[in-house]
């Protein structure tokens, strides 16, 4: 084994343009051995080594040891595109050339390069390998040996690339940190993306009752900043039609393999099937499909911000239906979704939308928004490992700081005392307050029970029955076919009531 060589350097003038500040008194050590390099002041030391003929080591050799730098100096000098007809990905310089690094080796391209993905369903990762060659690989990038360029999901059935994602990461973040961030913290929300132009109190009679808009915003895919902006005529990277009505594509799973499909963006963050009610993504009979929501039932849609170049804001369809709003709110959870081979590894959940669908709703999707949950601030893990926040675990649940108008109600099941207009607790209380007298409340409740009716003239009408089963601690009054009135005590003894 060779002997480690130690060399000390000292800067004697000027300042470092990268780090900034006066380093005229800075000293640092470099130790080069078979086991690698150790140093203090590594950035300046590496530059000094590269310029020193006597050191016997170059930046390329350092790249072999550290695997750095890795990536693109910027995304401005090159542009990427994908041809759906030929399944061809292309990267080309915007000027004379563009540079990238793989394991410390710099490559310069002066013309466009292309690679064709197979006509096979699945996700393809476009990379520059450690020979500087463009290729498509599966599965995920090997970040220690490849510089990521793009991700494409190919829908073989419909001959379409339903995902075209940006992955030209900068070379300032080392590959090991990149891998750690990808596997742990994932894509993060930075700013904006506020939802607007919506209502959750519409009656389903207008298209606007299930429409939204989304403001410009930023997410961070590790070191790659994704600046999402509205455009009425999207042509640039991360541009999408988002105001005043957001046009959002919808992703769902299909068939026995659960392959991913994308519905074209419309003016609604929801789609329909069957007779025209809202659809949900159901797994039934061993296969995924679009199913029509039962009349008056509820369905969830999940909005994400992604690094998709053409449509960064997407929706993923909920996979179940719910009989009432409370049921949907409690059970439509992110962790209940089954993603399979999710085509978008870089995505940040931003909202959950809950809609109700009914035949009587007159808009184009026979549905209305009923609830919106803002999830932008959730520090979620990468897609597929997200752990939702449980409301029951929050602090301050006993605080009297929720107004009655802020708590939703489900008015069904009250024998029509409450109506569809009683959408929150305060409205329901107002309706019940109108029935202030006990006789009126009793009348309204029992009038709809065929076994016991209190008539307006005060006559009590009882259905004839047989001797009922006894209930301990309770007495029962009833009449039978012999035209007699009976009382049964909690022990089951039956007593004929004698009228005097």
**pLDDT, position 341:** 84
Q: Give me the long-range contacts of 240-243 (CB less than 8 A, separation at least 24).
A: 240/310, 240/311, 240/312, 240/313, 241/265, 242/213, 242/214, 242/215, 242/216, 242/313, 243/196, 243/197, 243/213, 243/214, 243/215
**What is the residue-wise DSSP string for 292-360?**
EPPTT-EEEEEEEEE-BSS--EEEEE-S--BSSHHHHHHH--GGG---SS-S-SSEEEEEEEEEEE-TT
Q: Are 145 and 63 in contact (CB under 8 A)?
A: no
Tokens of residue 493, six digits: 């003894």
Spatial CB neighbours of 309, under 8 Å, sequence gap ≥ 6: 80, 164, 165, 166, 237, 238
**pLDDT, position 418:** 78
Q: Write out pLDDT tens, residues 142-164.
A: 999 999 999 999 999 999 999 99
pTM: 0.68
Tokens of residue 461, six digits: 């009408």
Collapse the DSSP code of 49 into the 3-class scheme (helix H, G, I; strand E, B; otherwise coil) and give the result. helix
Question: What pLDDT tens digit does each residue of the chain (500 aa) get?
Answer: 444 444 444 444 444 333 333 444 444 455 555 454 555 455 555 555 555 444 455 656 666 778 889 999 999 999 999 999 999 999 999 999 999 999 989 999 999 999 999 999 999 999 999 999 999 999 888 999 999 999 999 999 999 999 999 999 998 888 888 888 888 878 999 999 999 999 999 999 999 999 999 999 999 999 999 999 999 999 999 999 999 999 999 999 999 999 999 999 999 999 999 999 999 999 999 999 999 999 999 999 999 999 999 999 999 999 999 999 999 999 999 888 998 888 777 899 999 999 999 999 999 999 999 999 999 988 655 444 444 344 443 444 555 555 665 566 666 656 667 777 777 787 778 777 766 554 554 554 444 455 656 665 667 778 888 999 988 888 988 899 888 898 999 888 898 887 76
Question: Which neighbouring-strand residues pair with 322?
Answer: 298
**pLDDT, position 387:** 40
**pLDDT, position 59:** 58
**pLDDT, position 61:** 67
Which DSSP state fits 497?
Answer: P
Q: Are 456 and 437 in contact (CB under 8 A)?
A: no
Residue 322: how many CB atoms within 10 A of its CB? 22
Spatial CB neighbours of 354, under 8 Å, sequence gap ≥ 6: 298, 299, 300, 325, 328, 329, 332, 369, 370, 371, 372, 373
Please state the length of the chain: 500
Instruction: Tell me how far apart the alpha carbons of residues 155 and 213 are, in angstroms, rounded to a whole number.
Output: 28
Cα Rg of the chain, angstroms: 33
**pLDDT, position 405:** 57
């Amino acid at each position: 084994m060779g002997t480690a060589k130690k060399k000390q350097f000292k800067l004697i003038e000027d300042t470092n343009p990268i780090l900034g500040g006066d380093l005229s008194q800075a000293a640092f050590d470099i130790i080069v051995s078979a086991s690698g390099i150790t140093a203090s002041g590594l950035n300046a030391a590496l530059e000094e080594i590269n310029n020193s003929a006597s050191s016997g080591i170059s930046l390329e050799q350092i790249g072999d040891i550290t695997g750095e730098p890795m990536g693109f100096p910027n995304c401005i000098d090159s542009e990427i595109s994908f041809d759906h007809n030929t399944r061809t990905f292309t990267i080309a310089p915007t000027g004379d050339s563009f540079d990238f690094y793989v394991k410390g080796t710099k490559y310069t391209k002066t013309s466009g390069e292309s690679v064709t993905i197979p006509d096979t369903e699945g996700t393809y990762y476009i990379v520059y390998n450690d020979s500087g060659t463009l290729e498509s690989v599966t599965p995920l990038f090997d970040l220690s040996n490849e510089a990521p360029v793009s991700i494409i999901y190919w829908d073989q059935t419909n001959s379409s690339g339903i995902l075209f994602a940006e992955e030209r990461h900068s070379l300032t973040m080392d590959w090991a940190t990149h891998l750690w961030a990808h596997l742990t913290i994932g894509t993060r929300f930075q700013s904006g993306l506020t939802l607007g132009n919506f209502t959750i109190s519409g009656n389903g009679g207008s298209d606007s009752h299930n429409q939204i808009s989304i403001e410009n915003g930023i997410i961070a895919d590790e070191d790659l900043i994704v600046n999402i902006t509205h455009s009425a005529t999207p042509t640039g990277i991360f541009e999408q039609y988002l105001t005043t009505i957001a046009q959002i594509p919808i992703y769902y799973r299909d068939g026995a393999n659960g392959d991913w499909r994308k519905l074209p963006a419309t003016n609604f963050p929801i789609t329909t099937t069957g007779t025209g009610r809202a659809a949900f993504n159901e797994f039934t009979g061993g296969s995924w499909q679009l199913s029509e929501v039962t009349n008056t039932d509820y369905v969830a849609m999940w909005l994400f911000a992604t690094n998709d170049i053409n449509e960064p804001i997407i929706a993923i369809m909920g996979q179940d239906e719910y009989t009432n709003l409370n049921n949907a709110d409690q059970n439509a959870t992110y962790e209940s979704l089954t993603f399979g081979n999710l085509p978008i590894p870089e995505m940040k959940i931003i909202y959950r939308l809950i809609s109700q669908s009914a035949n009587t709703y007159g808009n184009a999707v026979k549905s209305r928004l009923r609830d919106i949950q803002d999830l932008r601030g959730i520090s979620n893990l990468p897609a597929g490992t997200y752990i939702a926040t449980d409301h029951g675990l929050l602090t301050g649940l006993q605080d009297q700081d929720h107004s009655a108008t802020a708590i939703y109600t489900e008015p069904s099941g009250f024998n029509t005392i409450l109506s569809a207009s009683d959408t929150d607790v305060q409205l329901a209380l107002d309706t019940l307050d109108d029935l202030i007298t006990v006789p009126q409340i009793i009348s309204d409740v029992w009038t709809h029970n065929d076994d016991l009716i209190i008539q307006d003239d005060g006559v009590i009408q009882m259905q004839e029955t047989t001797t009922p089963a006894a209930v301990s601690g309770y007495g029962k009054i009833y009449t039978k076919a012999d035209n007699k009135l009976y009382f049964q005590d909690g022990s089951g003894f039956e007593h004929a009531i004698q009228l005097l």
